[in-house]
Amino acid sequence: MASDSVSIKGTRNGLLILLDPNRDYEEIRQTLMSKMESARGFFKGAKFSISQEPNEIPVKQKNELENICRQYGLIPNTDKAAPVRIVQKERKAPETSRFSAKPKMGEAALMVRRSLRSGQRVTNEGHIIVLGDVNPGAEVISGGNVMIIGSCRGMVHAGAGGNRSAKVIARRLNPTCLSIAENRFSPETAQSMLNEYQTVRLSGQNFIFEKYMPGR
């Protein structure tokens, strides 16, 4: 399978947007716009840097790509001295006590660029975005929000450190198990899920399912 022309990775210093130097600039620009649109509102407030190793992208093109990111609420990272450290995509069994109670606004998200199969687990202390499906038997555990650009049919736990304001967003919601903070949703009580992006949040002890509104 050919690599993507634009890869977005979460680092301790913000988002790192990697460009494939072997791809045409117009393809890169269109792919970046598509990725920003698919996660509209989710990256808002996050710092970002653009890289096209081993080559340096022309200033005019870099400025245009940065402006695209700014339109979606991202903030250019001016800390040039900060070393880039890529976050591990998968970790072993989660320890809920390690998660902070509430990730900071603008914190980078862990990007998972594939569907998750049965037996696969992804955990992160901050937000998680899955560019694919979460299939039955797969697990996603996040200290912040979880966004799934596909079907959610596995186990998802948002706000694992006790963050009750955390949300789960997915194109099709039909989880085997869904939790936010310490609250667990019972799938057997669910209505048939709509084929559109939905958000799940807590209101008191109740799970609220509503249409996803970008930027909210």
- We report the CATH number of the domain holding residue 107 as 2.160.20.70
In this structure, the answer to whether residues 128 and 70 fall within a common structural domain is: no
User: How many other C-beta atoms lie within 10 A of the C-beta of residue 170?
Assistant: 26
Cα gap 86→6, rounded to integer Å: 15
Please give the Cα distance from 154 to 12 (Å, whole number): 28
Query: pLDDT tens across 97-127, in order?
Result: 455 545 444 556 888 888 999 999 999 888 9
Per the structure, how many domains does the chain have? 2
Query: Based on the domain organization, do 196 and 123 belong to the same domain?
Result: yes
Helices 25-38 and 59-71 sit at what angle, rounded to 10 degrees? 10
DSSP helix/strand/coil, 36: helix
Per-residue pLDDT at 156: 94
76, 107, 125 - which closes a domain: 76
Claim to verify: residue 33 and residue 126 sit in the same structural domain: no
Q: Which residues of the chain have pLDDT under 50?
A: 1-2, 80-97, 101, 103-105, 189-192
Which residue in 187, 164, 89 sits closest to 129, CA to CA? 89
Q: Are 176 and 69 members of one domain?
A: no
**103 in the same domain as 56:** no
Considering the domain boundaries, does residue 36 fall inside one? yes
Same domain flag for 137 and 197: yes
- Domain range holding 51? 6-76
| Whether residue 36 is found in the same domain as residue 110 | no
Element (H, E) at 27: helix 25-38
- Return the pLDDT at 107: 57
Residue 43: its pLDDT value, please? Answer: 74
3-state secondary structure of 156: strand
Write the CATH number for 61. Answer: 3.30.750
Which string of b and e fits 124-136 if b means at least 16 CB within 10 Å?
bbbbbbbbebbbe
* 1 occurs within a structural domain: no
Residue 57's closest CA among 90, 74, 38, 32? 32
Report if residue 85 sits inside a domain: no
pTM equals 0.54
